[in-house]
Amino acid sequence: AQSVTQPDIHITVSEGASLELRCNYSYGATPYLFWYVQSPGQGLQLLLKYFSGDTLVQGIKGFEAEFKRSQSSFNLRKPSVHWSDAAEYFCAVDLGSQGNLIFGKGTKLSVKP
């Protein structure tokens, strides 16, 4: 069965430090890949998406993600974290059939001053 794994449940980084959130997926072909962010009490906002082409994609709020087919990974990065980045981050894949986004369990990001 298709699945998405986010191995880190909770990450704490200092403000200004770099960030990498991991995401691995299990699927035979290359799926459509997404990163969403959920701020406390809010819905989900799309950060970025990958469909094809350049494997390094840029998103909003200074985030980027790199698709690595050989590792079935789609890790999210940010060079310098801001306190406002504290939120929960979800990686998701869409297999393109029924529109069902398969989500990872999320990584909660805390930012230390």
Partner 1 sequence: EAQVTQNPRYLITVTGKKLTVTCSQNMNHEYMSWYRQDPGLGLRQIYYSMNVEVTDKGDVPEGYKVSRKEKRNFPLILESPSPNQTSLYFCASSLPPHGRDEQFFGPGTRLTVL
Give the residue, chosen from 84, 100, 110, 112, that forms a contact with partner 1 under the rule CB under 8 A.
Answer: 100
CA 92 distance to own-chain centroid: 7
Number of residues in the chain: 113
By CB under 8 A, tell whether 14 contacts partner 1: no
What DSSP letter does each residue of 41-102 carry, written as one string? T--EEEEEEE-SS-SEEE-GGG-EEEEEGGGTEEEEEESS--GGG-EEEEEEEE-SSS--EE
Question: Measured from the CB atom, is 78 or 104 closer to partner 1?
Answer: 104
By CB under 8 A, tell whether 97 contacts partner 1: yes
Enumerate residues 17-76 that contact partner 1 by CB under 8 A: 31-32, 34, 36, 42-46, 49, 51
Chain residues that interact with partner 1, rule: CB under 8 A: 4, 9, 31-32, 34, 36, 42-46, 49, 51, 90, 92, 94-101, 103-106
